[in-house]
């Protein structure tokens, strides 16, 4: 059966499986690059306050010839804005910069447990969802211990957890935990992150050559076939369309197993959740 283009969230909304990541995309380039991505067919854009490109992304979304209701826009709260009252102001800031009247998904970007504000931040997100300022709410870089506190204090289970996930760092434990709690896993740095060295891995290039696909298409397809939401980033116009052309082929069980074997305990490229404590 062909893969559907969306996955159901635990709040009844649906999220496009393939999103367009915009970290490291300068604000002045965002209207052109994100506009081209929407014209090419992306319907899901993943930005964050910390990427400093919400204005450019918002311009692309507002100028797109695609109705707002067909687009899925995510942003994430800066760590320094965490707190109950400050989160209401923080979300209004994102909406103002984006020029939108609601977000599809708003995430707590990092838990920063030593700051100890993620639980009160979550209570504000629950309220913002009730007010309709954001359709779905979730988190990023959270561990089960952080979830236990959010769920224990509010009874509201985040719709997603966005975590680093690629063939060299597959996060099997947290994915099982998410599945048991009806949380969708979003893969960030899905091509292995900046520089995408993963795409030169012989296992990946072998499979790509045999299937007449590119290494990036093989890796994106690996994410899709495991019910992961995948957020590749590119600023390159050819790759914008290349990374979207992943729906007309299927990786065999053997190909998936070969890629699965690339998992490494030290494959992580960004800080672990408990290590990230800067208030960026």
Ligand X SMILES: NC(=O)c1ccc[n+]([C@@H]2O[C@H](COP(=O)([O-])OP(=O)(O)OC[C@H]3O[C@@H](n4cnc5c(N)ncnc54)[C@H](OP(=O)(O)O)[C@@H]3O)[C@@H](O)[C@H]2O)c1
Closest CA to 10 of 139, 110, 149: 139
Task: Give min distance, CB of 164 to ligand X, in A.
Answer: 7
Residue 162 engages ligand X in binding (rule: CB under 6 A): yes
The tally of CA atoms less than 13 A away on the side-chain side of residue 227 is 12
Pairing of β 160-164 and β 6-8: unpaired
Is 84 marked active-site?
A: no
Residue 199 engages ligand X in binding (rule: CB under 6 A): yes
Judge whether 146 is annotated as a binding position.
no
Torsion of CA 273, 275, 279, 280, to 10 degrees: -70
* Helix (H) / strand (E) containing 230: strand 229-230
Q: How many C-beta atoms lie closer than 10 Å to residue 278's C-beta?
A: 10
Task: Give min distance, CB of 254 to ligand X, in A.
Answer: 23
Task: Give min distance, CB of 83 to ligand X, in A.
Answer: 19
Residue 192 engages ligand X in binding (rule: CB under 6 A): yes
Residue 273 engages ligand X in binding (rule: CB under 6 A): no
Q: What six digits make up the tokens of 224?
A: 């899709």
Number of residues that bind ligand X (CB under 6 A): 30
Task: Give min distance, CB of 150 to ligand X, in A.
Answer: 17
Binding string to ligand X for residues 36 to 55, with x set by CB under 6 A, is what? ----------x---------
């993620």: which residue's tokens?
118
Pairing of β 14-16 and β 6-8: antiparallel
Residue 178 engages ligand X in binding (rule: CB under 6 A): no
Binding to ligand X (CB under 6 A) within 14-33 occurs at 21-23
Binding string to ligand X for residues 56 to 95, with x set by CB under 6 A, is what? ----------------------------------------
Cβ distance 148 to 243 under 8 Å?
no
Task: Give min distance, CB of 158 to ligand X, in A.
Answer: 13
Among 103, 125, 184, 191, interactor with ligand X by CB under 6 A: 191
Q: Which residue, 26 or 131, is less far from ligand X as judged by CB?
A: 26
Residue 237 engages ligand X in binding (rule: CB under 6 A): no
Q: Which residue, 73 or 95, is less far from ligand X as judged by CB?
A: 73
The tally of CA atoms less than 13 A away on the side-chain side of residue 97 is 20
Among residues 51, 118, 169, 188, the one annotated as catalytic is 51
Q: How far apart are CA 78 and CA 75, in angstroms?
A: 10
Q: How far apart are CA 21 and CA 211, in angstroms?
A: 26
* Helix (H) / strand (E) containing 60: helix 54-63
Q: How far apart are CA 245 and CA 58, in angstroms?
A: 25
Q: How far apart are CA 202 and CA 146, in angstroms?
A: 37
Binding to ligand X (CB under 6 A) within 104-143 occurs at 109, 140-141
- Binding-site annotation, residues for substrate: 109
Catalog residues that contact ligand X under the rule CB under 6 A: 21-23, 46, 109, 140-141, 162, 188-196, 199, 214, 216, 231-236, 239, 242-243, 270
Catalytic residues: 51
């Amino acid at each position: 059966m062909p893969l559907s283009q969306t996955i159901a969230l635990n709040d009844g909304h649906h999220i496009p499986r393939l999103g367009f990541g915009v970290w490291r995309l300068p604000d002045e380039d965002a209207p052109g690059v994100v506009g081209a991505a929407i014209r090419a067919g992306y319907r899901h854009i993943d930005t964050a306050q910390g990427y400093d490109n919400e204005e450019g992304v918002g311009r692309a979304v507002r100028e797109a010839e695609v109705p707002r209701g067909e687009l899925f826009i995510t942003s994430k709260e800066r760590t320094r804005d965490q707190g109950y009252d400050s989160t209401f102001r923080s979300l209004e800031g994102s909406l103002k910069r984006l020029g939108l009247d609601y977000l599809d998904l708003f995430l707590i970007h990092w838990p920063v447990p030593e700051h100890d504000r993620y639980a009160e931040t979550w209570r504000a997100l629950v309220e913002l969802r009730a007010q309709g300022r954001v359709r779905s709410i979730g988190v990023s870089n959270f561990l089960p211990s952080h979830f236990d506190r959010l769920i224990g204090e509010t009874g509201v289970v985040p719709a997603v957890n966005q975590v680093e996930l690629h063939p060299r760092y597959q996060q099997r434990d947290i994915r099982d935990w998410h599945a048991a709690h009806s949380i969708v896993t979003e893969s960030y740095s899905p091509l292995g992150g900046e520089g995408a060295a993963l795409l030169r891995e012989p296992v990946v290039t072998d499979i790509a050559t045999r299937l007449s696909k590119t290494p990036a298409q093989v890796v994106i397809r690996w994410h899709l076939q495991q019910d992961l939401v995948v957020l590749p980033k590119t600023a390159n116009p050819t790759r914008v369309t290349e990374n979207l052309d992943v729906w007309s082929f299927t990786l065999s069980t053997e190909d998936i197993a070969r890629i699965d074997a690339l998992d490494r305990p030290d494959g992580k490229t960004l800080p672990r959740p408990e290590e990230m404590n800067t208030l960026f």
